[in-house]
Chain A
Amino acid sequence: MPSQLVTTKLYAPPHRSALVARPHLAERLDAGASRALTLLSAPAGFGKTTLVAEWSAARATPAAWLSLDEDDGELSRFLLHLVAALRTHDAGFGEAVLAALNAPQAPPTRWLLAELLNALDALEADLVLVLDDYHTVDSADVDAALGYLLERLPPKLHLVITTREDPDLKLAGLRARGELVELRAADLRFARDESAAFLREVMGLELAPEDLAALESRTEGWVAGLQLAALSMRGRDDVSGFIRAFAGDHRFVVDYLVEEVLQRQSDEVRDFLLATSVVDRLCAALGQALTGNREAGALLDTLERSNLFVTPLDDRRAWYRYHPLFADMLRARLGQQGPEPVAELHARASRWFEAEGEVAEAVDHALAAGDIERSARLIEGAWQAMDSAFRSSTWKAWVERLPEADIRSRPGLMVGHAWALLNAGEMEAAERRLQDADELFEAAGDDVELRPLAGTAASAGAYLALATGDPAASVAQARRALELLPPDDAVGRGVPLGLLSLAHWANGDLAEAYAVMADAMDGYLAAGNLVAGLSGTFALADILTSQGRLRQAARTLEDALVRVGAVDDVVPGTAELHVGLAETLRERGELEAAEAHLRSAEALGEPAVLPGDEARLRVAIARVEAGLGRRERALELLDEADRLRIRTPMPELRPGEAWRARWWLELGRLAEAQAWMRERGLPDPDDARYLREFEQLVAVRVRLAERRRVAEADLDDVLQTLERLLGGAREGDRRGSAIEILVLRALAQQAAGDPDAAAALAEALELAGPEGYLRTFVDEGPALRPVLREVVRRKLGGAYARRLLAASDPDGAAPPPLPDDVEPLTEREREVLRLLASELSGPEIARHLGVSLNTVRTHSKNVYGKLGVSSRRAAVRRAEELGLR
């Protein structure tokens, strides 16, 4: 569900005719309209907004406008309104970003910003975007995002920012590159002739020169002061006397003038102004609710016409707001009437907004009224809507303003707070809150009404346990959630079901993981939610593949693609389906079809990716790319995935680092792969957990590659590790795992001269044959061929074995031998190699080894030959790359 779009924020304040022409400032703004950023940074009341609005309206193409407020500190809300503002000029702008912001889970910021930059790159005409009142945002997230955009800003977009304080946007760099135009208080202040024109044209006042001078020196060209002074002088007989008194007074300018202005209003207007100052925006109905005055609409018109600091927020003049500075002055005066009347006004505002369905403002005013009971009730009721609108952090801030005792007395607040804390990554605080909630549920006994809420709490507990690495506790919590949640709440039950499946998966219980995930997906589909209902398909296919059910995995993905194809819109998750299918097709040797699905996923682009899946999908694409021989590309994709990764309870069964090590190995970069292996402390025969299986198998490959270098290396740890993993795979009926483990065992046994190698491979063939596995065997390259030949010779594998043998023929269509297939160096050759890397000359090396120079030359030549190089330097470099020391 989208964060709610407030369209009045996209409305540029209307400019009145007869404003003062300020051509020198308009020129500066014109200059800024060809740079990246124009910054208007000055205190309240210097006419920043008016100046920009007036300048924009006079342009052939007015600027896109965004009035910011405190709520825009939430980045997704800020970006939603930013895109919406740009769409007022270019209706099709940023579809992908908008779709992502409207998706049920927020995508990573990096992705959003990259996509936004793409959209901005595609702008056809120059466009000015005004971000008004930027100081209200006050968010490091928004500063960082905007700074990122500004550094890379496409030339067509020009930003104008108005603010009361300099934003944290690396202004020095922009200034140095000539990409910044600045207008500050000194530039904005009204010169004497401008003050005169303002008073004459806008306020209808003609002053004597000495009065003008006195007024100017007192207000220092501050236009809010000028306007207030003019309002105070209107209709006065003794204008000079007023100015003399004003100039001689020490009071804060606005304080003095607002007092004067208010005194000159009728009681009706003054009461209206004071009472309505409690709200940030105002319409006639709300004005009437606050004051009881039936003429509120007419009053608002009057206020606008008499320049009483009220600005319409839309074309229909339904909504207004006061100039923030004026509103502050009014509130200070209202505050003097004591706390009760102010609280009463906030209470009225809260009731009115609640009746209008504007929950956020209803809550804000209930809190301001100090009505804890009302606040707590409203906040509790708002959780669902706020959470699905990505406003969980705003909701969290509300809750945290309530007294602890009131939070504890409402289970809905406690459970919502726990989820809000989880969303914010505050795991410890979430845990404490869930404990509080549990105590309350226990004390309540088996209260039927509390059951769904207790179920939601258990869901949160399951999420927490899985995200903090305790799958067993997660299973227990998820099961409890499913007991408690109503059977007809398919969407609510989807959360614990999904978590339960992930926990089983992480534990290696794939059959259970599959059954539970399929159940959750059926529930979503039955409830008519296609996106959620297909969101688990990729995981289901992955589970099936690990179970060695390659054909069923392909069918599952194909069926889902048919469902997606029947829908007109791009369904998020479709890219995952294509990539999953590409991997199964690649495994079966259908390389062209695999390529085609990979390209389909690419062509669909980011809208076809489930938010949150960006990193996982890139790893999956990388896997197919590497399998098709493009390992460098695969490594790039891993780097991209690292940038996009967010914390989720998804088990990390195949960490990117392990893939990276595997591809380093295949690229002959043994040293880097070894470093990874040592850092991970693998292979470890004592750790048979499924969660580590993939990493262990990569480490086994590293050890086998080492063995190919150093013939006498010991493989006991490798064989033990494989034995343990194989036991686990058989126990959990993970035939896909077993196939790979058996292939590696055959290779290890072959290297160790064990005649049982053929038997191990034959067992793998038995599992793999019916499912059409091919690349798992062929990709092992020439190393596996002798074992395959032995299987064929001993008639252990039938036609399938012969087919694999033919497919792995290096003279056939098989991939070229991998660069790590170097003939092992002898002990003496390695010693020579080590000395070649030193500063010693040839004769010195000979002396060192106690042999003749000719013998050294012979060894060197052999080393060069095995490494495929022709010089000492190249040999040293190559040895370095291969991890030979």
Chain B
Amino acid sequence: MPRPPAPNPRPSRSDRYEIRVDGHLSDRWADSFPGLRLRRDADGTTVLIGEPIDQAALHGVLRRIRDLGLPLLSVQRAPNAHP
């Protein structure tokens, strides 16, 4: 059965995001990104992923990435397990 298309992101709504940065980030940074796990991929990048967050929280994460000077590679909305 075809899945219904995912609704567009709205400010009021929380989604799961996968945020990919360059370089392997050690677990000590987990505290800097509350609610997000760090997954180190073999290509030398790190993916931040975790609980659904809203737009404001997403921007907070991006700002933190900016302040750490982490090269940002991509931000993607992940399929939501519990819509």
Instruction: Give chain A's interface residues, CB within 8 Å of chain B.
Output: 43-45, 135, 164-165, 222, 224, 249-255, 324-325, 328, 332-333, 335-336
Contacts and interface: CB of A to CB of B under 8 A. Distances in A.
29 contacts: A44-B67, A44-B68, A44-B69, A164-B66, A164-B67, A165-B66, A224-B69, A250-B24, A250-B44, A251-B24, A251-B25, A251-B26, A252-B21, A252-B22, A252-B25, A252-B46, A254-B69, A255-B24, A255-B25, A324-B67, A325-B67, A325-B68, A325-B69, A328-B67, A328-B68, A332-B29, A332-B32, A335-B28, A335-B32
Contact of B23 (A43, A253, A335): A253
Contacts of B28: 332-333, 335-336
Interface in B35-69: 40, 44, 46, 66-69
Question: What band does the interface of chain B fall in when counting residues whose beta carbon is under 8 Å from A?
Answer: 10 to 19
A332 B46 contact: no
Contacts of A335: 28, 31-32
Given A45-B69, A325-B67, A328-B67, 4 more contacts: A251-B26, A252-B46, A255-B23, A325-B69
A114 to B, nearest CB: 33
Nearest to B69: A44
> Ordered nearest first, which 3 A-B pairs have the shortest CB separation?
A252-B23, A250-B44, A44-B69
Nearest to A251: B24
A252 B66 contact: no
A115 to B, nearest CB: 34
Contacts of A250: 23-24, 40, 44
B70 interface: yes
Given A332-B29, A332-B32, A252 B24 contact: yes
A252 B32 contact: no
A252 B70 contact: yes
A43 B46 CA distance: 19
A263 to B, nearest CB: 14
Contacts of A164: 66-67
Interface string B1-40: 0000000000000000000011111101101100000001
A19 to B, nearest CB: 21
A215 to B, nearest CB: 16
Nearest to A135: B66
Contacts of B67: 44, 164, 324-325, 328
B82 to A, nearest CB: 29
Nearest to A328: B68
B61 to A, nearest CB: 15
Nearest to A329: B68
B24 to A, nearest CB: 4
Contacts of A224: 69
A254 B26 CA distance: 11
A250 B29 CA distance: 16
B26 to A, nearest CB: 6
Nearest to A45: B69
A135 B67 CA distance: 10
A255 B26 contact: yes
Contacts of B26: 251-252, 255
Contacts of A165: 66
Contacts of B40: 250
A260 to B, nearest CB: 13
Nearest to A255: B26
Contacts of A253: 23
Contacts of A44: 66-69
Given A250-B23, A251-B23, A252-B23, A332 B66 contact: no
A165 B70 CA distance: 13
Contacts of B22: 252
A43 to B, nearest CB: 5
B41 to A, nearest CB: 9
Contacts of B24: 249-252, 255
A336 B28 CA distance: 6
Nearest to B40: A250
Contacts of A336: 28
Most buried by B among A43, A250, A251, A333: A250
A256 B21 CA distance: 15
A325 to B, nearest CB: 6
Contacts of B29: 255, 332
A43 B31 contact: no
A224 to B, nearest CB: 7
Contacts of B70: 252
Nearest to A164: B66
Contacts of B66: 43-44, 135, 164-165
Contacts of B68: 44, 254, 325, 328
A325 B22 CA distance: 17
A44 B28 CA distance: 20
Contacts of A328: 67-68
B69 A43 contact: yes
B65 to A, nearest CB: 10
A73 to B, nearest CB: 14
A249 B25 CA distance: 12
A44 B66 CA distance: 8
A255 B70 CA distance: 10
Contacts of A252: 21-26, 46, 70
A252 B38 CA distance: 13
A711 to B, nearest CB: 63
Contacts of B25: 251-252, 255
Nearest to A335: B31
B69 to A, nearest CB: 4
A475 B32 CA distance: 52
A51 to B, nearest CB: 16
A255 B68 CA distance: 10
Most buried by B among A45, A255, A325, A335: A255
A250 B25 CA distance: 9
B70 to A, nearest CB: 7
A761 B25 CA distance: 89
A298 B69 CA distance: 31
A257 to B, nearest CB: 11
B14 to A, nearest CB: 22
Contacts of B31: 332, 335
A252 B23 CA distance: 4
A135 B64 CA distance: 12
